[in-house]
Structure formats: structure tokens, C-alpha cells
């Protein structure tokens, strides 16, 4: 399954056979990831402090295989990601495999979309994926 985030996120079928996907950990019922800060529509200056929230799950560093845990990934400006595979590390997909729940990032002035995806010990999104709503910010 691939994710192309936009003002609202949606799912599309992947083009490769299902057997090409990695094993995915089950997401507990009611699991939810969200932004504590900044708020949707905020105008901020760089560096930006971003705080991640998580409900009905625990945070664990990458490499720690424990049920009902994961770590945060920040998607910047709607990158396409394959939800059946480990999330890549790029300028648009930032990993917080140390179990961080807050970060400070530098962004050039402009408009940005931000979205969170929780990944398991191997950076693979859960089943079903735990994905935040997309927020928009403006950096001055």
C-alpha cells in the first residue's frame, strides 16, 4: 500500500504483489498519532520545534521489537511512501528511531505540509498504519 499525503491523506493499492511486502505488526485498537505542536495553520520561524503525540501505544527505539510500540517518522511536503516496506530516510522522510517525541528542524521560508507515521522496530508502518492528519505550516 502506498501513501501520498495531501490536505487529507488517502490510501491506494500498491502495484507490486502482496508477497513483496514486509511482515507488519498489528496496530492496537484506538492507536493514534498526532501533532502537539505546531498547530495546523501556524506561522512559525526556523528552527521549528515539533512535538509528537501518541495515544494507546508506547514509544520504543528502532531495533526494539516490542508489541504495541513504535517510533515516529515525519513526512514533509507529501512524499510518496510504501506502507508495506520500511520507510526510507530522505530530506522529506525524517526518522526518530531513538524514540524521540520532539525535534527541532530547520526549514527555509515557505509553506509546508507535515504528517506523522508510526513505524515498528524495523521502520515498517503498522497494520493498519498509524498516521496523523496532515497539517500545514508557514515558515517566515
pLDDT of res. 20: 58
Q: In the CATH scheme, what is the code of domain 2-139?
A: 2.60.40.10
| pTM assigned to the model | 0.85
pLDDT of res. 105: 97
Dihedral (Cα; 57, 63, 67, 69), 10-degree rounding: 0
Task: Identify which of 90, 89, 102, 120 has the alpha carbon closest to the alpha carbon of residue 25.
Answer: 120
Task: Identify which of 114, 3, 126, 110 has the alpha carbon closest to the alpha carbon of residue 57.
Answer: 126
| Structural domain boundaries in the chain | 2-139
As a whole number of angstroms, the distance between CA 111 and CA 71 comes to 26
Q: Which residues of the chain have pLDDT under 70?
A: 1-21
In the 8-state DSSP scheme, what is residue 122? T
pLDDT of res. 56: 97
Amino acid at each position: 500500500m502506498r501513501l501520498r499525503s495531501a490536505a487529507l491523506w488517502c490510501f491506494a493499492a500498491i502495484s507490486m504483489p502482496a508477497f513483496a511486502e514486509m511482515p507488519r505488526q498489528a496496530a492496537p485498537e484506538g492507536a493514534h498519532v498526532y501533532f502537539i505542536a505546531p498547530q495546523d495553520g501556524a506561522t512559525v520561524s526556523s528552527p521549528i520545534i515539533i512535538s509528537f503525540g501518541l495515544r494507546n501505544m508506547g514509544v520504543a527505539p528502532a531495533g526494539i521489537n516490542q508489541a504495541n510500540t513504535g517510533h515516529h517518522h515525519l513526512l514533509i511536503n507529501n512524499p510518496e511512501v510504501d506502507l508495506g516496506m520500511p520507510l526510507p530516510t530522505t530530506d522529506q522522510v525524517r526518522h526518530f528511531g531513538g524514540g524521540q517525541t520532539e525535534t527541532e528542524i530547520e526549514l527555509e521560508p515557505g509553506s509546508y505540509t507535515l504528517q506523522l507515521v508510526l513505524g515498528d522496530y524495523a521502520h515498517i508502518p503498522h497494520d493498519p498504519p498509524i498516521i496523523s492528519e496532515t497539517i500545514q505550516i508557514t515558515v517566515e
